[in-house]
Structure 1
Amino acid sequence: IEAVTRLLEEKEKDLELTARIGKELLTANGRLEARVTALEGELRSARDLVTQLRHEISSKSDLLQVLTDDTEEGSPTEEQEAPTAIALKRRTGALERENRALREEAARLAAGADSAELAERQLLRDIAAQLSSANSEASVLSLELAEERQRWVDLQYQLDTTNARLAASERNLQQLTTEHEHTLRILEITKDNQNALASELADTKERYAEVAALLAE
């Protein structure tokens, strides 16, 4: 019984440990969900920024195309072309550089958004796996604990039955002992009576012999 009780206590401790681990996992899950929510917000912001950058790239490209078309139209004189062409080339170069920078930034943000989305999915898979493992372990421990409790109940029933039989046997033994002592007392009284009767019979025989002798004289 003591071994079963210790085993039951160990199983209960294991179950408490599993429950504590489950609570810790739920707490960690809450933090991870908050992190996921933050990452989703960052992802939405990044996507919005990518959309904005793409719009700016499109606008810059349209403006660059318009400027290019303007330079190709007409044939201005050299006096008119020199300052205008220089300013236009500078403006065109600046727009091209800005356009390239915007494209690179958009590509970087898109890659970051994809990486964040992949990290989010992996994080959710890890959380689900951890919770599934904890739930499985808790279910196994609960089943083992229920089985140990049932064994303990069965052993307790057997112990109670054995104790009841032992108590009945002790009562029967006590009753038999009392009856035996009573019988011994009766036997002792009977022996005393028998001895008294034998002594009385001997006395009677002696008196009878004396009387017979007197009568014979």
Structure 2
Amino acid sequence: MQELQRAKSLLDPVPPNYALTSSALLVIQRNSRDEQRKKERDLELAARIGQSLLKKNKTLTERNELLEEQVEHIREEVSQLRHELSMKDELLQFYTSAAEESEPESVCSTPLKRNESSSSVQNYFHLDSLQKKLKDLEEENVVLRSEACQLKTETITYEEKEKQLVNDCVKELRDANVQIASISEELAKKTEDAARQQEEITHLLSQIVDLQKKAKAVRLLFLWLMQN
């Protein structure tokens, strides 16, 4: 009687231990699919991060080039103003010397007299013209010096911005490299885990197939014995 019950149990289509194995297999397969989808999402995220970093790096590079052009333009303007200022100083010194040499003592001491020579009158008007030009040059020099000072300040500001921009680029690239390395390492680990899980699934499937073959053989043998 016990042998008959044991034989009948062998006829069950799916023994309990097989059912448990199949359930565990389904869980493993589902987890494997979840891991695969997560790995694909991580790959997409890494690709988006890489594209974003490349775009940001391009923008920073363009800004850096623009600042370099502006700094170079300002330097040229400063150089031109310095040249003009130097020429104005030389011209100012020339007019000052000419005014000092042309000024007659009578102009400083007494007013012009009717019997003064025409050359004295010409010298007087020439001196007045020189003094006017001298005043204009002094005012122009003040303006030029103010512009040169302003341009120098702007140059320093642009150079500081350029330096800060370069530092920001270096920092962002360094952070991006660290982030990409971390993501790559995590992806490699997940890929390895997925491969190991796939190997386990294959092994379990092989075991299930073997067990099902054995169960089928035992069932056929039992039926044959019952018929004979």
Q: Shorter-normalised TM-score: what interval? A: 0.7 to 0.9
Asked if residue 134 in structure 1 is aligned to residue 176 in structure 2, the reply is: yes
Q: CA deviation at 1:84?
A: 3.3
TM-fit CA distance, 1:64:
0.9
Query: Cα deviation per residue 1:53-105 (whole Å; 9 max; x = unaligned)?
Result: 10111111111112222222365242446433332222111111111111111
Three-state SS of the structure 2 residue aligned to 1:115 is helix
Structure-1 separation of matches of 2:98 and 2:74 = 35
On the 8 A contact 1:43/1:113 being kept in 2, the answer is yes
What are the equivalent positions in structure 2 for 1:91-106 lying under 5 Å apart? 91-106=133-148
Q: Is the 8 A contact 1:19 1:138 kept in 2?
A: no
1:1-217 correspondence to structure 2 within 5 Å:
1-73=29-101, 76=104, 77-78=106-107, 79=112, 80=120, 82-186=124-228
Counterpart residue number, 2:11: none
CA 1:147–1:30: 2 relative to 1, 3 Å: same
Q: Output the CA distance in 1 between the equivalents of 2:103 and 2:211.
A: 131
TM-superposed CA distance for 1:2, in Å, is 2.0
- The structure with higher relative contact order (CA 8 Å, sep 6+) is 2
1:213 corresponds to which residue? Answer: none
Of residues 5-14 and 113-122 in structure 1, the stretch that sits farther from structure 2 once superposed is 5-14
Query: What is the count of residue pairs matched by the alignment?
Result: 186
Q: What displacement does 1:137 show?
A: 1.5
AA matched with 1:52: Q
Alpha-carbon distance in structure 2 between the residues aligned to 1:18 and 1:166: 38
After TM superposition, the score normalised by the length of structure 1 is 0.77
Q: Where do 5+ consecutive residues of structure 1 fail to align? A: 187-217
CA contact (8 A) 1:39 1:120 kept: yes
Post-superposition shift, 1:116?
A: 1.1
**Are the equivalent residues in 1 in contact too, given 2:67–2:162 (CA < 8 A)?**
yes
Could you say which structure has the larger radius of gyration? 1
Cα deviation code 1:150-207 (max 9, x no counterpart):
1111111111111111111111122122222223333xxxxxxxxxxxxxxxxxxxxx
Which letter does structure 2 place at the counterpart of 1:17? L
Greater Cα offset, 77-86 or 96-105: 77-86
Amino acid at match of 2:165: L
- Which stretch of structure 1 is more off in the superposition, 8-17 or 91-100? 8-17
Closer, same or farther in 2 for the Cα pair 1:75/1:141, shift >3 Å? closer
Give ranges in structure 2 of 5+ residues lacking alignment. Answer: 1-28, 113-119
Report the alpha carbon displacement of residue 123 of structure 1 after superposing the two structures with TM: 1.2
Tell me if the contact between 1:57 and 1:103 (Cα under 8 Å) persists in the aligned partners: yes
